[in-house]
Structure 1
Amino acid sequence: MDYLELEERLDRIERLLVANKEVLTFEEACEYTGISRSYLYKLTAAREIPHSKPNGKMLFFEKAKLNIWLLQNRRKSKTEIEKEALEYTFKNRQV
């Protein structure tokens, strides 16, 4: 097994371990969300993303709250919009 293959396997193991955690460190939150360090700092400073600072210095993130935050402002698909339009049209014809 060469060095590159070993490094890839270790990366996979680390990702699996993070996937099982409920509370993430700042670095883990960056990795989990795909958000850059500087942007995540900006979001926490502006209090736009849920986080905790138990000792006044280190930042921690609940994975469940991060998921909710990441999935806010959902956009409907074209199919969903068309379905709603049809339902609305048929509902108004029956009246």
Structure 2
Amino acid sequence: MSELIKELRDIKSLVALNKDILTMDEFCAYAGISKHQAYHLTSENKIKFYRPHGKLIYFDIEDVKEFLLQNPVNKKNKFKS
């Protein structure tokens, strides 16, 4: 039963991600990374982020998509010996 509850929470989280601006937690869930990795990306200015006031960090979904889709892998050369 706990596995079902976990899956329902995961689905709820995914549905919540259907928006234009993401919080740090939502960004981590969307990108599949830890908060530690996310803070590293922001501190190194590797991903565009916004801090309108205080300590809260926000991400524009289009910036996130652009970041995640950089460095595409050429399938022809991927498994070449």
- Is the pair's TM-score, using the shorter chain for normalization, greater than 0.5? yes
If the TM-score is normalised by the length of the shorter chain, which range does it land in? 0.7 to 0.9
TM-score (ref. length: structure 2): 0.81
Gaps of 5+ in 2: none
Name the % identity. 32
- Structure possessing the higher radius of gyration over alpha carbons: 1
Match of 1:39 in 2: 37
Determine if the alignment matches structure 1 residue 75 to structure 2 residue 65: no
Deviation of 1:56 (Å)? 3.5
Report the RMSD for the aligned CA atoms in angstroms: 1.7
Higher relative contact order (CA 8 A, sep 6+): 2
Following superposition, the deviation at residue 8 of structure 1 comes to 2.3
2:13 alignment counterpart: 14
Residues 59-82 of structure 1 deviation map (CA, whole Å, 9 limit, x = unaligned): 000111101111111122218xxx
Instruction: Name the SS for the 2:4 alignment partner.
Output: helix
- The change in CA–CA distance for 1:55 and 1:12 in structure 2 (over 3 A counts) is same
Structure 2: which amino acid aligns with 1:21?
A: K
Structure 2 residue identity aligned to 1:15: L
Residue 24 of structure 1: SS of its match in structure 2? strand
Which has a greater percent of helix? 1
**Runs (5+) with no aligned partner, structure 1:** 80-95
